[in-house]
Amino acid sequence: MTVIDRPSAGDRPARASAGPPAAALISAHDLSKVYRVGEQDLVALDKVTLEIAAGDFVAIMGPSGSGKSTMMNLIGALDVPTSGSLRLDGRDIGTLSADDLADLRNRSIGFVFQQFNLLPRTSALRQVMLPLLYAHPRPENGEELARRRLEQVGLSARMDHTPRQLSGGQQQRVAIARALVNNPKILLADEPTGALDSKTSEEIMQVFTDLNREGITVVLVTHEPEIALWAGRRITFRDGRVIDDVRQTPITEAPITETPVAGPSP
Ligand SMILES: Nc1ncnc2c1ncn2[C@@H]1O[C@H](COP(=O)(O)OP(=O)(O)OP(=O)(O)O)[C@@H](O)[C@H]1O
Ligand SMILES: [Mg+2]
């Protein structure tokens, strides 16, 4: 079996959830998304009400087609709801113009996808600088900001590499650095470890954990229970509804128990 080398939880700052309830950064009320397909209405999200506090680390689970990505796209201001309300960082996205939505997306939200979505012939450094082209005002020290984010995800020595010169885990780190370069409050990741082996997945989850400790709110979708264990809260969707919402002890806070080297078989 694989023994996870768990970092000590001793010096971590308190989570938002550990103290009094923080103001919700994400607040959905009766949120619905209905797609019209031919003659039929397909209810992808069905009156979802939930709040996510600043600083939380949330894993979203549920079967295929249960509405996880639809929820992520709404939280990410990539799509608008059919009905209900969604407040992001105090602003009701239903009332925003397309320009204001794009602005909110650029300023407040970073996205990470299962397939990394990198440009094939562009260096890691250039990939990470790309979102800065759309920032207002455009920072003058863009290259330095990108370098810092690549260092933060452990890629100091790979800045000039193109995606095919990088492993899957390294490519996902580039994608995470790109998602961070605009200094977002919320990091959204839709199955970020879906294309990675289990050891690399753990390394990527450690990156998300470190970012969350620095204060970024993390919401990720996963099909894997072991991945969901890294989060502080697990929300389960089915048929477009939330059917379960539990606060759990993340892997990095769980007490480390000794694993017997060769215990008797049960
Ligand atoms: N653009 C679209 N047009 C029509 N139907 C859609 C669209 N996007 C999603 N759906 C439907 O909405 C439902 C929810 O889809 P969603 O992608 O949110 O599921 P999911 O939970 O992310 O699934 P998976 O685990 O397979 O990624 C599905 O039935 C899907 O077919
Ligand atoms: Mg999905």
For residue 202, being part of any structural domain is answered with: yes
Q: Which ligand is closest to the CA of 66, given by its number? A: 1
Nearest CA-CA partner of 33 in 41, 24, 25, 45: 45
For residue 45, being part of any structural domain is answered with: yes
For residue 265, being part of any structural domain is answered with: no
Residues with Cβ within 8 Å of 258's Cβ and at least 6 positions away in sequence, in order, are none
For residue 254, being part of any structural domain is answered with: no
With a cut of 50, say whether residue 29 has pLDDT above it: yes
CA nearest ligand 1 atom 27, residue: 64
Ligand 1 center to residue 57 CA distance, Å?
A: 23
* Residue 56 confidence (pLDDT): 97
* Residue 138 confidence (pLDDT): 87
Ligand 1 center to residue 85 CA distance, Å?
A: 20
* 256: DSSP letter: P
Q: Ligand 1 site: residues with CB under 6 angstroms?
A: 35, 37, 42, 44, 62, 64-70
CA nearest ligand 1 atom 25, residue: 64
Nearest CA-CA partner of 124 in 98, 101, 155: 155
Range with the lowest mean pLDDT among 37-46, 132-141, 190-199?
Answer: 132-141
Q: Which two tokens stand for residue 2?
A: 């694989």
CA nearest ligand 1 atom 28, residue: 65
91-92 β-sheet, strand order = 40-53, 24-37, 83-88, 91-92
Residue 93 CA to residue 190 CA, distance in Å, equals 20
Q: What is the pLDDT of residues 113-171, one digit of tens each?
A: 999 999 999 999 999 999 998 888 889 999 999 999 999 999 999 999 999 999 999 99
The domain that holds 88 is classified in CATH as 3.40.50.300
- Number of compact structural domains in the chain: 1
* Residue 8 confidence (pLDDT): 45
* Residue 22 confidence (pLDDT): 58
Provide the residue range defining the domain that includes 155. Answer: 24-247
Residue 202 CA to residue 170 CA, distance in Å, equals 13
Ligand 2 center to residue 43 CA distance, Å?
A: 15
Distance of CA 153 to the CA centre of its chain: 15
For residue 148, being part of any structural domain is answered with: yes
Ligand 1 center to residue 71 CA distance, Å?
A: 10
For residue 261, being part of any structural domain is answered with: no
Tell me phi and psi for residue 62, to 5 degrees.
140, 160
Ligand 1 center to residue 65 CA distance, Å?
A: 5
* Residue 131 confidence (pLDDT): 93
Peptide bond between residue 63 and the one before it cis (omega within 30 degrees of 0): no
With a cut of 90, say whether residue 229 has pLDDT above it: yes
* Residue 161 confidence (pLDDT): 98
Amino acid at position 165, single letter: Q
Residues whose beta carbons lie less than 5 angstroms from ion ligand 2: 69
For residue 4, being part of any structural domain is answered with: no
Residue 53 CA to residue 34 CA, distance in Å, equals 26
For residue 56, being part of any structural domain is answered with: yes
